[in-house]
Structures are given as structure tokens and as C-alpha cells.
Chain A
Amino acid sequence: EAQVTQNPRYLITVTGKKLTVTCSQNMNHEYMSWYRQDPGLGLRQIYYSMNVEVTDKGDVPEGYKVSRKEKRNFPLILESPSPNQTSLYFCASSYGQDRSYEQYFGPGTRLTVT
């Protein structure tokens, strides 16, 4: 089954404790992206990747890192989480590098930073 998986689905952590949210897709998609969703603000793009070893900042990249060493994986790293990073995070992927196709979203990771 074609899908985007994220782990963990729920995470409660403390300020400053490094964490990684994994994202994997089995559709051989070139484009992958991370979003955060906050009430009243909609979805905002954090980082995206057009292909392996190619990443770029979205609208809200501060406090986040990503890497794209393999085509299927696109982990999101929070080196020193802060309470303002409490949010619902989504990973997405799509075919091609020119954003001409629909995105497939993962189920989301609900992160709470205390």
C-alpha cells in the first residue's frame, strides 16, 4: 500500500532535549516536505526536499533541521525543542521535482514540549 509513515505519532518532551521525527514514503517520490499545523494558522511549510541531498527552507524553518540521505526518508530534527514548537507535524511527499503533482500526507505527529 502506497503510504507515508511518521514516527512517533505522539511525543511529549521537555525543553532542550533533542528529538527526531522520522518520515518514510514507499512511492519513490522525489519531493518531500514537512509542515506544522497550528490552530488559526493553518499549515505552514518548515522544510522541503526536491531530491536526495537537496533540501531547502520553507516558511518557518527556525529551530528545525532536516536531512535527505535516502530518497525514501526525510527526518525532522529538533536540536533544542522549545514550547513554541508544540504543534501537529505532517510529512508529505509527491512525484517529481516541479511540484506539479498532489502531495501524500502522513498521519501526523503531535508534539508537546513542556
Chain B
Amino acid sequence: SQQGEEDPQALSIQEGENATMNCSYKTSINNLQWYRQNSGRGLVHLILIRSNEREKHSGRLRVTLDTSKKSSSLLITASRAADTASYFCATVPQNRDDKIIFGKGTRLHILP
């Protein structure tokens, strides 16, 4: 799989439940970033986690990073209808000559 691969591709949950999305990557990273995109609109930055960090929080969002497994997860707690969107991870390689890689995203749908 390519660097910055999200899993699952799509997720439907009931409002109020927690949503977890995962991102796997292949090379050593400087940092990993999570973004949200509402249909056809620009991406909005959610959380950036650096390679020496293991967990970060922002409101209802929690991001973890496991560099030994080359993976990250995004947890959205107490989901709301407004959380319906696509979520992308972007990996920024340590090697400055390597490109930033975005995954294909997870489409999250919150059911009322």
C-alpha cells in the first residue's frame, strides 16, 4: 500500500458514537498531519503530531502515533452530524527530498 494509507475507506456510525480512523505509512517521518474535507471544499487542518510525540488532543479529537508500527490513528469522540466529512492523513518524510504524501482518505458518515 502507498504511504499515508487510511483505513477504513468508509465508516458509518450513529451520532454520539466514537469514530476511529487509521493511517499507515512506510518511511521515517518528520510529522504526520490529519485534515478534514467537507464535500468538494478545501482541506482543514485538524492535528499535527511530530515523530517524537505519541499522543495529541484537540477538543473531541485524539491522535496517536506509533513510529515502530508506522501507523497513526484519529479518534473522534461523541460524534456529531457536523463531523460527516472525509478525513485524510498526510505524512511528511524526514528526508527533505521525499514528497509529502496524502492518503486516499476515510469517508465518515454520521447517522442521526
Contact = CB atoms under 8 A, between A and B. Distances in A.
A40 B86 CA distance: 12
Contacts of A53: none
Interface stretch (B12-20, B59-67, B74-82, B97-105): B97-105
Interface residues of A, number: 27
For the side of the interface on B, what is the size category? 20 to 34
Contact of B30 (A35, A88, A99, A103): A99
Nearest to B9: A40
Contacts of B35: 103, 105
A100 B31 contact: yes
Interface string B26-55: 000011010100001111110010100000
Interface of B: 30-31, 33, 35, 40-45, 48, 50, 88, 90, 92, 96, 99-100, 102-105
- 10 tightest CB-CB pairs across the interface, nearest first? A42-B104, A43-B102, A102-B45, A105-B42, A105-B43, A99-B92, A107-B42, A102-B48, A42-B102, A108-B42
